[in-house]
């Protein structure tokens, strides 16, 4: 298994181009099931998760090819097996997104329940309950959802907690359900907004995009879409912004949408970091010291993203005082704390409130990745640590970051991937 070897204390200087958003490309690949011909998806990051979704589609009879380093071509004209197996779904929770479009296209589907992940169980009860509210008959058989959507109609759906995946999954069925569906407490994340825009470009009738109430007027059929370009990855961008803030330097991020990073920019400026927004560019300047402490919490968009919680935590270990960080999306998304403490952080937990000691001197050590964003936090910590750090299980980072070691090396970091 690959591991990273990093020598810390190098400032980051230069420009990087941010890749397309992982969390936009996965639902859009699932939505391609509603397309009866070829769809070209551009600005796709090279990630193992996109390859996993491609394998799931190919298992259904789809033809998928990758080209030009950032393009996926998906031909679903021959797609005829509404089935997604456990051995693939268990490796990536987002595979469950195929249920909605399969039901919309075939009126039936058999999809494995997703496995858990590094941080606790991640249920899909919101997805199941919402489908049932639209009239889908659902049985759970040997770890699979066996669903029949031959008699569905629009209805009112209220999610008890905002859910990106459940919003996207149900949207992809509701667009072809008779009547009107109103989803309240819907997700407004940019990735969901792009999914809504894609479906509307195919002839769907979704209004309220970008708000927490989506109204979907069902249509009898959708027209094929030929091409779509994925929005920039706000979490990759935020990761590089926080890395620059922590280790110091001057980094220009290209191909970003500053609107998607308003809260991250605000919090970085609140702790003394210079952030300059220009069209599709964000510049971050930091001395890597004089970082103020903070007391923030994660929230659904447009709040501070949970996918940057681990990265923010390491920044606060370097702040000139003690901080707190409340995690409101996943009560137990803290597997990174033990590994960060091995590097010299001093972080403790009270429920889902992290208490972070500032003014820490980090010393390189051997640490282990536990999930995509925890790996990113460990990389940032290693960039700030004295001496050498070895980070194992980097397959986690390869799921969510496109060529991260190349981008960091270009900025002056000392990071190499070893076998
Ligand atoms: C998406 O996951 C993202 N993944 C996650 O990013 C992100 O952390 C999360 O949204 C929150 O923003 C993709 O887009 C592929 P949720 P998702 O449904 O859809 C609870 C990354 O690192 N819930 O919005 O699975 C759930 O437990 C990944 O890129 C239920 O209880 O998240 C959580 O507490 C990690 N029942 C909350 O809702 C359900 O049926 C939000 O989860 C569904 C969710």
- The tens digit of pLDDT for each residue in 62-98 reads 999 999 889 999 999 999 999 999 999 988 899 999 9
CATH number at residue 241: 3.65.10.10
Pick the atom of ligand 1 nearest to 161's CA.
Answer: 38
Q: Is 201 exposed, middle or buried (0-12, 13-18, 19+ CB in 10 A)?
A: middle
Give me the pLDDT at residue 1, please: 85
Distance 343 CA to ligand 1 centre (A): 28
Listed in sequence order, the DSSP H helices in 37-135 are: 48-59, 86-89, 99-106, 125-133
pTM of the model: 0.97
Instruction: State whether the beta carbon of 407 lies less than 6 angstroms from ligand 1.
Output: no
Residue nearest to atom 14 of ligand 1 (CA): 23
Q: Average pLDDT of the chain?
A: 96
d(CA 99, CA 53): 13
How far is the C-alpha of 84 from the C-alpha of 86, rounded, in Å? 7
Query: What was the pLDDT predicted at 119?
Result: 63
Domain shared by 217 and 314, yes or no: no
Find, among 58, 56, 104, 60, the residue nearest to 82 by Cα.
Answer: 60
168 and 28 in a common domain: yes
| Choice from 114, 122, 303 to test ligand 1 binding pocket (greatest atom count within 8 A of CB) | 122
294 and 406 fall within a common domain:
yes
Give the count of domains, the chain.
2
Q: Are 14 and 47 in a shared domain?
A: no
On the question of pLDDT at 240 being above 90, the answer is: yes
Give the residue-averaged pLDDT of 329-341: 95
Beta bridge partners of 416: 5
Q: What percent of the chain has pLDDT over 90?
A: 94
Query: Residue 213 in contact with residue 203, Cβ under 8 Å?
Result: no
> Does the beta carbon of 62 sit less than 6 angstroms from any atom of ligand 1?
no
Q: Which domain holds residue 63?
A: 22-229
Atom 25 of ligand 1, nearest CA residue: 165
Looking at 203, 229, 255, which one is the last position of a domain? 229
**By alpha-carbon position, which residue is closest to atom 30 of ligand 1?**
123
Same domain, 340 and 284: yes
Which residue, among 104, 94, 164, 114, has the nearest Cα to 135 in the 3D structure?
A: 104
Return the residue whose CA atom lies nearest to atom 28 of ligand 1: 307
Q: Is 35 in the pocket of ligand 1 (CB under 6 A)?
A: no
Q: What does the pLDDT look like over 339-379, one tens digit per residue?
A: 999 999 999 999 999 999 999 999 999 999 999 999 999 99
Same domain, 125 and 158: yes
Please tell me the total number of residues recorded for the chain in this structure.
Answer: 419
CA neighbours within 13 Å on the CB side: how many for 350? 4
According to the model, what pLDDT value does residue 120 have?
Answer: 65
Q: Give the count of alpha carbons within 13 A of 324, CB side only.
A: 10
With a 6 Å cutoff on the Cβ, whether 122 touches ligand 1 is: yes
Q: Is the same domain home to 287 and 367? A: yes
Whole-angstrom distance, CA of residue 367 vs CA of residue 46: 25
- The mean pLDDT value for 388-395 works out to 96
> Does 279 score more than 60 pLDDT?
yes
| H/E stretch holding 108 | strand 108-112
d(CA 157, CA 2): 44
- Report how far ligand 1's centroid is from the alpha carbon of 404 (Å): 23
**Measured from the CB, is residue 26 less than 6 Å from ligand 1?**
yes
Tell me, yes or no, whether 264 and 344 share the same domain: yes
Catalytic residue among 117, 196, 345, 384: 117
> Do the Cβ atoms of 163 and 126 come closer than 8 Å?
yes
Distance 119 CA to ligand 1 centre (A): 12
pLDDT band at 256 (very low <50, low <70, confident <90, very high): very high
Same domain? For 362 and 217 the reply is no
What is the C-alpha to C-alpha distance for residues 84 and 124, in angstroms, rounded to an integer? 15
Let me know whether 384 and 245 are in one domain: yes
331 lines ligand 1 (CB under 6 A): no
CB of 188 closer than 6 angstroms to any ligand 1 atom: no
Q: Which two tokens stand for residue 55?
A: 């394998």
pLDDT beyond 80 at 181: yes
Omega of the bond leading into 303 within 30 degrees of 0 (cis): no
Residue 297 pLDDT greater than 60, yes or no? yes
Q: What is the pLDDT of residue 68?
A: 87
Residue pointed to by tokens 């990093």:
6
Statement: residue 333 has pLDDT above 80 = yes
Q: Select from 123, 163, 326, 375 the residue to mutate for testing ligand 1; criterion: most ligand atoms less than 8 Å from CB.
A: 163
Query: Where is the domain boundary, 186, 213, 229?
Result: 229
For residue 116, pLDDT over 60 is answered with no
Distance from the CA of 174 to the center of ligand 1, in angstroms? 20
Tokens linked to 176: 């072809």
Which residue reads 């990536």 in tokens?
92
Name the band, by pLDDT with cuts 50, 70 and 90, for residue 392.
very high
Say yes or no: CB of residue 166 within 6 Å of ligand 1.
yes
Q: What is the pLDDT of residue 415?
A: 98
Q: Say which range, 41-50, 117-126, 245-254, 362-371, has the weakest mean pLDDT.
A: 117-126
Question: Which H or E element spans position 110?
Answer: strand 108-112
Token pair for residue 16? 């990087």
Instruction: Calculate the alpha carbon distances from 129 to 5, 134, 164, 406 in Å.
Output: 46, 9, 15, 43
Q: How far is CA 292 from the centre of its chain?
A: 28
- Strands 38-42 and 71-75 come out as antiparallel
Bridge partners (DSSP) listed for residue 178: 153
Name, in order, each residue with C-beta under 8 angstroms of 165's C-beta and a sequence gap of 6 or more.
93, 94, 96, 97, 124, 127
Residues 140-161 have a mean pLDDT of 96
- Give CA–CA dist 300/211, Å, rounded: 12
Q: Is the CB of 222 under 6 A from ligand 1?
A: no
* pLDDT recorded at residue 117: 59
Closest by Cα among 387, 358, 289, 346 to 9:
387
Is residue 234 in contact with ligand 1, taking CB distance under 6 Å?
no
What distance in angstroms lies between residue 320's CA and the mean position of ligand 1's atoms? 33
pLDDT band at residue 168 using 50, 70 and 90 as cut-offs: very high
Q: Which sign, positive or negative, has the C-alpha torsion 380, 192, 36, 109?
A: positive
Residues 19 and 3: their CA atoms lie apart, in Å, by: 22
Q: Say yes or no: 288 and 399 in one domain.
A: yes
196 catalytic? Reply is no
Residue 264 has pLDDT above 60, yes or no: yes
Do the beta carbons of residue 204 and residue 216 sit within 8 Å?
Answer: yes
Residues 195 and 262 in one domain: no
Final residue of a structural domain among 229, 253, 275? 229
């Amino acid at each position: 298994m690959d591991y990273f070897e990093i020598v810390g204390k190098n400032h980051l200087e230069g420009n990087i181009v941010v890749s397309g958003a992982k969390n936009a490309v996965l639902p859009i690949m699932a939505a391609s099931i509603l397309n009866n011909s070829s769809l070209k998806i551009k600005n796709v990051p090279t990630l193992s998760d996109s390859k996993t979704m491609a394998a799931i589609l190919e298992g259904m009879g789809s033809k998928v090819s990758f080209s030009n380093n950032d393009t996926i071509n998906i031909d679903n004209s021959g797609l005829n097996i509404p089935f997604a197996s456990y051995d693939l779904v268990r490796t990536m929770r987002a595979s469950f997104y195929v249920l909605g479009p399969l039901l919309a296209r075939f009126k039936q589907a058999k999809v494995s329940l997703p496995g858990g992940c590094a941080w606790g169980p991640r249920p899909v009860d919101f997805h199941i309950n919402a489908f049932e509210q639209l009239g889908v008959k659902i049985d759970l058989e040997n770890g699979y959802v066996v669903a029949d959507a031959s008699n569905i109609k629009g209805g009112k759906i209220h999610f008890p907690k905002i859910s990106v995946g459940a919003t996207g999954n149900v949207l992809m069925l509701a667009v072809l359900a008779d009547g009107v569906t109103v989803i309240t407490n819907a997700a407004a994340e940019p990735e969901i907004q792009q999914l809504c825009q894609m479906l509307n470009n195919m002839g769907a009738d979704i209004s309220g995009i970008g708000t927490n109430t989506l109204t979907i007027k069902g249509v009898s059929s959708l027209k094929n879409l030929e091409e779509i370009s994925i929005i920039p990855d706000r979490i990759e961008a935020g990761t590089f912004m926080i890395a620059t803030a922590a280790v110091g330097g001057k980094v220009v991020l290209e191909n970003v949408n500053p609107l998607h990073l308003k809260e991250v920019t605000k919090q970085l400026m609140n702790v003394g970091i210079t952030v300059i927004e220009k069209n599709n560019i964000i510049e971050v300047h930091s001395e890597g010291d004089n970082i103020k402490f903070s007391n923030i919490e994660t929230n659904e968009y447009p709040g501070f993203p949970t996918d940057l919680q681990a990265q923010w935590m390491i920044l606060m270990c370097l702040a000139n005082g003690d901080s707190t960080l409340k995690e409101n999306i996943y009560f137990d998304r803290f597997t990174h704390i033990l590994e960060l403490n091995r590097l010299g952080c001093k972080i403790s937990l009270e429920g889902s409130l992290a208490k972070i000691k500032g003014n820490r001197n980090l010393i390189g050590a051997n640490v282990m990745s536990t999930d995509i964003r925890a790996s990113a936090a460990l990389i940032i910590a290693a960039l700030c640590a004295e001496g050498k750090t070895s980070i194992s299980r980097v397959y986690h980072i390869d799921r969510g970051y496109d060529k991260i070691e190349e981008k960091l090396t270009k900025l002056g970091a000392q990071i190499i991937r070893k076998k």
